[in-house]
Chains A and B, each alone.
Chain A
Amino acid sequence: MLDTLLFAVFPYVAVALAVVVGFYRYFSDRFSYSSLSSQFLENRGLFWGSVSWHYGILAILLGHLIGFLIPRSVLAWNGVPWRLYVLEASALMFGILTLWGLVVLIIRRFSSARIRVVTSLMDIVLLVVLLVQVVAGVWTAIFYRWGSSWYAGFAVPYLWSIIKFSPDISLVNNLPFMVKLHIIGAYVIVGLIPFTRLVHLLSFPFTYFWRPYQVVIWNRRKETRG
């Protein structure tokens, strides 16, 4: 019963929350969409924390995405032992980088008087949830080998079952606790997006790549040009 709730119902709740509240916040309080950078108040800790964390987490997320999109190719790649080791070792390395970055960020949040002033309750909630999630992820990588292969066998079909609206929890309900925690953690984070500074993910400035350097806005003319 609990498993059904967590693995078959909660994913939809989380995504629905993300979408509905995300839109609500965007249209009712666009001002609040911000990465809320705190670099101005503290520099050094942010360098070690933010750079490690972001490069780590983005690489890891990309890994999860690739595994999800092309599981067969990943399995094929893992067919040769040294390639499996290279993949697993680099994944673990990024995982540890992520963890290290996050720990630095958390220590920074609590040790710097200036940063404490700009720390909201949701910031703390988010950092704790992310910590649990990353620890569970690294734990899984270390103790349940080889994740990159069984991810293709269990997690990918399970995720597809969610996407196809026919959740098949038999794929996941026998997994070890830490792995389950990692899956639930992911949904919690998705659900948290609109309630926290994570909205900054949705604002990634792609347009910067193709827009001209200068932006001019006219009252009457429609176009914006340099």
Chain B
Amino acid sequence: MDIRSQVSMVFHLDKCIGCHTCSVACKNIWTDRKGTEYMWWNNVETKPGTGFPTLWEDQEKYKGGWEKKGKDLRLKMHGSKTGGLANIFYNPNMPNLDDYYEPWTYDYKHLFTAPEGDDQPTARAISLITGKHMEIEAGPNWDDDLGGSPVYAANDPNLESLTENERLALNELERVVFFYLPRICNHCLNPGCVASCPAGAIYKRGEDGIVLVSQEKCRAWRMCITGCPYKKTYYNWGSGKSEKCILCYPRLESGEPPACFHACVGRIRYLGVLLYDADRIKEIASVPEDELVEAQRSILQDPFDPEIIALAKANGISDATLASARNSPVYKFVKKWKLALPLHPEFRTVPMLYYVPPLLPVLAAVKDGNYDVTEIADAGLAPMLSSLEKARVPLRFLASLFAAGNAEKVTAVYRKLIAVRIHMRASRVKDIPEAEQKEALAQGNLTVKEAEDIWRLTSMATFDERFVLPPLAREVAVEAKVDPSTHKREVGFGFKKAGERKW
């Protein structure tokens, strides 16, 4: 066993209100420079929807991630490494600007400088690429809250798993349903971006598992854009370098959570250490699709197990990191309670960002123009208004997102989520019979203690419970190479020159 530590994440989708504060926090810090205007290292999508860039999940189109070939895994984008390099002069599966959107600003100056006339002057849109007037045709969240759903939501690749009738039902007004899917880089264990980079510019940091693009080594072969199935490496068209979410490592190194985590209004985000066995990455990435969720859980190791602790220490993982692994909210959600699932595990990159799926509203009806819940009450679903059997979103849709199609895994998660809900309502509001409460806990395979712990971490967790940061060894790292006091005088902000084109 080769035990390593990974800074990992959980997003609790039930709590996301789709406000995009996370995206804006990230943009203001990292991507408001020339060449990066169109990038959203953090973005929030409406599901069902086509996402950003449009249809990113459709790997027939973009060829991201891995596929099985016999017993081996290979990048979907190449037959082989040689074959891949044959495409270096033109990458046939690369999304271009129009698959994202053309970033723009407005010609505000015109409001002041326009000559006097009969009409009000307007501020027309100006492209941030060409500086010319442009027609706005798309944006990074153009289909927010199901906007334009006949074009966007209707083309969500995950709907393929549904029957025709189920798909039609999603279009009926009173059955319409959506939820938000915030996305950042998953800092995968088997990253497609790293594997596809011909220059070897992208790497995983050994100590914390953060995936970074070395700006000095990147040569703009732009293979990572295709290699990442989540489309979370972006090409900076101005500097000729790829860039991606860095999990705010400079913030982590000074003990603060990443900006999107810190800013999150819904407090949906959790961050903590997971220990895993690096020897088994390939193995668990290669199992049949319906076993992927379980296999990916199995690589995560118990930070309370003395044997694992000893192995971790032998591998140089510090006591402080191990202590934070024991406190990790991510460990609880992912491994202990089995509530959080990876997004599209079938891409086989072993993502380290997990999602607690959103609770599902029940099917309701509209009677005489009113939202009618009598039927629901008759069916015994009040007051929770939630039921797995009568869920408005077909489970297969969620299974297609979070379990490579294995609906059983998603069902198990929902049984738990519903159990927690019924249990808490029964013990607080006391309008649910005890028998029903017991039944729900039994179905969810939860003890009372577990249900309450889940409730607590879901809804009451403090800042320090949500973000359990390991001490990231900045000083140690520096000290290994140069005397810290010398280093301090030499650098301040990393790059001493602007990352701009000069030659």
Please give, as numbers and ranges, the residues of chain A lying within 8 Å of B241 by CB-CB distance. 31, 34
**B204 at the binding interface (Cβ < 8 Å):** yes
Interface centre among A117, A195, A196 (most CB of B within 10 A): A117
Asked whether, in the complex, the Cβ of B215 is within 8 Å of the Cβ of A31, the reply is yes
A 32-74 to B, binary, CB cutoff 8 A, 1 in contact else 0: 1111111111110011001101110000000000000000000
A203 to B132, CA, bound (A): 35
- Number of A-B residue pairs with CB-CB distance less than 8 Å in the complex they form: 143
Q: How far is the CA of A40 from the CA of B217 in the complex (A)?
A: 19
Is A166 among interface residues, defined by CB-CB distance under 8 A? no
Known: A29-B502, A36-B220, A209-B81. A41 touches B94 (CB 8 A): no
A66→B203 CA distance, assembly (Å)? 38
Decide if A118 touches B237 in the complex (CB within 8 Å).
yes
> Once the chains bind, are B502 and A217 in contact (CB under 8 Å)?
no
B203 close to A215 (CB less than 8 A) = yes
Task: Answer whether A39 and B91 are a contact pair too, CB < 8 Å, given A32-B503, A203-B219, A208-B198.
Answer: yes
Which of A39, A47, A51 has the most B CB atoms < 10 Å from its CB? A39
Q: Which of B190, B198, B502 contacts A205 (CB 8 A)?
A: B198
Q: Mark B93-107, 1 if CB is under 8 A from A, else 0.
A: 010110000000000
List, in ascending order, chain A residues with CB within 8 A of B237's CB.
38, 40-41, 118
Q: Indicate if A89 sits at the interface (CB-CB under 8 A).
A: no
- Which of B16-24, B364-372, B473-481 is found at the contact surface with chain A? B473-481
**When each residue 178-207 of chain B gets 1 if its CB lies under 8 Å from chain A and 0 otherwise, what string results?**
000000000000110011011110111111
**Cβ A205 vs Cβ B503 within 8 A:** no
Q: A32-B503, A50-B90 are in contact. Are A41 and B497 (CB under 8 A)?
A: no
Q: Does A111 reach chain B (CB closer than 8 Å)?
A: no
| Cβ-defined partner of A37 (8 Å) among B197, B221, B477, B497 | B221
Chain B residue nearest in CB terms to A214: B194
Q: Does A143 contact B (CB under 8 A)?
A: no
| Cβ of B316 under 8 Å from chain A | yes
- Asked if A41 meets B216 with Cβ closer than 8 Å, knowing A51-B89, A54-B89, the reply is no
Contact across chains for A36 and B240 when beta carbons are under 8 A apart? yes
Q: What residues on A are CB-neighbors of B202 within 8 Å?
A: 215
Interface size grouping (class) on chain B? 35 or more
Whether the Cβ atoms of B96 and A29 lie closer than 8 Å is no
B376 within 8 Å of A (CB atoms): no
Of the stretches A127-135, A154-162, A218-226, the one at the interface is A218-226
Bound-state CA distance A33–B239 (Å) is 10
Query: Is B499 an interface position by the 8 A CB rule?
Result: yes
Chain B residues, CB < 8 A from A25: 503
List of B residues within 8 angstroms of A83 by Cβ? none
B235 touches A (CB below 8 Å): yes
For residue B432, CB closer than 8 A to chain A, the reply is: no
Neighbour of B90 across the interface among A32, A46, A113, A211, CB < 8 A:
A46
CB < 8 Å: which of B195, B218, B503 contacts A214? B195
Q: Is B501 an interface residue (CB 8 A)?
A: yes
User: Given A29-B497, A37-B221, are A196 and B480 also a contact pair (CB < 8 Å)?
Assistant: no
CB of B148 closer than 8 Å to a CB of A: no
Smallest Cβ-Cβ distance to A221: which chain B residue = B206
Taking CB atoms and an 8 Å cut-off, the chain B residues in 62-100 that contact chain A are 75, 81-82, 85, 89-92, 94, 96-97
Question: Chain B, 198-239, contact with A by CB distance < 8 Å: what is the 0/1 string?
Answer: 111011111100000001111111100100000000010111
Contact partners of B238 in chain A: CB under 8 A:
118
A82 on the B face (CB < 8 A): no
Instruction: Give the chain B neighbours of A113 by CB distance below 8 A.
Output: 130, 132
Chain B residue numbers with a CB within 8 Å of A118 are 237-238
Cβ of B129 < 8 Å from any Cβ of A? yes
Residues of B within 8 A of A47 (CB): 90, 92
Q: Are A213 and B194 touching (Cβ within 8 A)? A: yes
CB interface residues, A 12-44, toward B, < 8 Å: 25, 29-43
The reply on A175 being an interface residue by CB < 8 A is no
Contacts of B81 in A (CB 8 A): 208-209
Task: With A39-B96, A114-B129 as known contacts, state yes or no: A31 contacts B198, CB within 8 Å.
Answer: no
Q: Which positions 362-389 of chain B face chain A at CB distance < 8 Å? A: none
Q: List the A side residues contacting B502 at CB < 8 Å.
A: 29, 32
Residue among A32, A116, A207 having the largest count of chain B Cβ atoms under 10 Å: A32
**A220 CA / B502 CA spacing, docked (Å):** 34
B38 to chain A, nearest CB (A): 9
Name the distance in Å between B56's Cβ and chain A's nearest Cβ: 15
- How far does the alpha carbon of A218 sit from the alpha carbon of B91 in the complex, in Å? 31
Decide: A217 and B203 in contact? CB cutoff 8 A.
Answer: yes
Q: How far is the CA of A37 from the CA of B198 in the complex (A)?
A: 14
Partner of A218, one of B97, B198, B207, B222: B207
* A160 to B: closest C-beta gap in Å: 32
Contact B89 A55 (CB under 8 A): yes
Report A-chain residues with C-beta under 8 Å of the C-beta of B90.
Answer: 39, 46-47, 50-51
- Cβ contacts under 8 Å, A163 to chain B: none
> Do A40 and B222 touch (CB < 8 A)?
yes
Given the known inter-chain contacts A37-B222, A42-B96, A216-B203, please indicate yes or no for A205 contacting B499, CB distance below 8 A.
Answer: no
Chain B residues in 8 Å Cβ range of A116: 130
Rounded to whole Å, the gap between the CB of A202 and the closest CB of chain B is 10
A195/B198 in contact, CB under 8 A: no
Q: Is the CB of A40 within 8 A of B94?
A: yes
Q: How far is the CA of A66 from the CA of B333 in the complex (A)?
A: 62
Q: Residue A90 at the B interface, CB < 8 A? A: no
Least CB distance, B398 to chain A, in whole angstroms = 30
* Chain B residues within 8 Å of A221, by CB: 206, 316
**Could you write out 10 A-B pairs with CB less than 8 Å apart?**
A30-B217, A31-B241, A32-B501, A40-B96, A40-B222, A54-B89, A114-B97, A114-B129, A205-B200, A213-B75
Sort A-B residue pairs by CB-CB distance and give the 7 closest, nearest first: A218-B206, A205-B198, A213-B195, A219-B477, A36-B240, A34-B240, A54-B89
